[in-house]
Amino acid sequence: MNEPKKHSILIVDDQSSNIEALKQILRSEYTVFTANSGKNAIDLAEKLMPDLILLDIIMPEMDGYAVITALKNSKITQNIPVIFLTGLDSDSEEEKGLDLGAGDYITKPFSLATVRLRVKNQIQMLEQLRALERESVIDKLTDLTNRRGFEDKLSSEWARAHRDNKPISILFIDVDKFKNYNDSYGHQQGDIALQTLAKMLKETLKRPGDFVARWGGEEFVALLPDTDKIGAFEVAEQLRKNVEDANIPSTDINASKATISIGINTVTHENFGKAGSKSGGSTIDLKSNSSAIDEFISGADTALYQAKEKGRNRACHFLNKEA
């Protein structure tokens, strides 16, 4: 039986003796990473996404206040809790840190019991927040992430695609003639169908980064990070075929069938910000995040409409007709 994964902590201090002291206290319970400068801390925080950051205030070039400001201003790292490490003993300094978003303070020299307790408290609060967040973004019928959760995931993956110059694809998925299905078999069987299809979609998307959610009603949406047009179409076709071949179980009727239509949109770093692409897909400047994400979604929705117009049970790429 696999042991539960340890929580991770990033220790940031320009003094190696302080880092070693904290590592000795924490490494038996946590996975520990270290950084000896503010800039290095920000880079590692974005790359590693630790559960907690222990951040020294007094550092050369970039102090702890500047580091926490950068972390809290980034969509990628803004929710990582921070405990300040300080030798300062001033109410005004503590207020400043808390105002910038720190969760707690640990004073130097370090007390073993105090470090463990304050870190434990922050980790427990983090887990409680994560549990509440998970509950708020789960669709109760299908157990998939709901629309709100998907939009949060899209925002973070969007930023990652921009930073790493990677393609990103989205699939809009609609159950064909679902109203007719409900009329024929009843709403209870319709719910069973949606639950069955949700499970099938999730099981088909096997890469760790791929992500499927319920958009609403009989619509689902899938996000495929680091996936170009060809890869996205292959995934869409596999989803479509798996649904077409499946039997939807029921206790009252013979197994029923359903099909899906899929609209695909892809943005790649080769055409970010250009006027258009004759080969299809969006040419969106990722820097204008909000409107660009809306365009990205709209393109997939347009492609879904085209798939329905062409007879349903098929996948279609979005084609920028202005290209």
For residue 92, give the CATH number of its domain.
Answer: 3.40.50.2300
Residue appearing with tokens 């105002």: 99
In a domain, 28, yes or no: yes
Distance CA 48, CA 181 (A): 46
Cα–Cα distance measured from residue 105 to residue 214, given in angstroms and rounded to the nearest whole number: 41
Domain end marker among 136, 156, 174: 136
Residue 113: inside a domain: yes
Catalytic entry in 95, 135, 218, 219: 218
Residues 159 and 111 grouped into a single domain = no
Is 109 part of a structural domain of the chain?
yes
Q: Are residues 157 and 27 in the same domain?
A: no
Residues 32 and 98 in one domain: yes
Sign of torsion over alpha carbons 76, 81, 85, 88:
positive
> Are 108 and 168 members of one domain?
no
Which CATH number goes with the domain that contains 195? 3.30.70.270
Please give the residue range of the domain that contains residue 15.
Answer: 8-136
How many distinct structural domains can be found in the chain?
A: 2
Say if 3 falls within a structural domain.
Answer: no
Indicate the pTM of the whole model: 0.63
Residue 141, domain member (yes or no): no
* Residue 129 shares a structural domain with residue 223: no
Could you tell me if 174 and 118 lie in one domain? no
122 and 43 share a domain?
yes
294: tokens are 């809306």
Cα 109 to chain centroid distance, Å, stands at 38
pLDDT tens string, the chain, 323 residues long: the values are 456 789 999 999 999 999 999 999 999 999 999 999 999 999 999 999 999 999 999 999 899 999 999 999 998 899 999 999 988 777 777 788 889 999 999 988 888 999 999 999 999 999 998 888 878 889 999 999 999 999 989 988 988 888 888 999 999 999 999 999 999 889 999 999 999 999 999 999 988 889 999 999 999 999 999 999 999 999 999 999 999 999 998 867 678 899 999 999 999 866 544 433 334 455 444 444 678 899 999 999 999 999 999 999 999 999 865 43
Looking at the structure, tell me whether residues 167 and 283 fall in a common domain: yes
**Token output for 2:** 């696999």
Q: Which of 87, 105, 136 is where one domain is finished?
A: 136
Could you confirm whether 234 is annotated as catalytic?
Answer: no
Judge if 305 and 185 occupy the same domain.
yes
User: Both 50 and 98 in a single domain?
Assistant: yes
- The reply to whether 117 and 184 lie within a common domain is no
* Domain stop point among 109, 136, 163: 136
Q: Say if 125 falls within a structural domain.
A: yes
Going 79 to 77 to 208 to 301, the CA torsion angle's sign is positive
Provide the pLDDT for residue 88. 72
Q: Does residue 49 fall inside a structural domain?
A: yes
Q: Is the same domain home to 155 and 106?
A: no
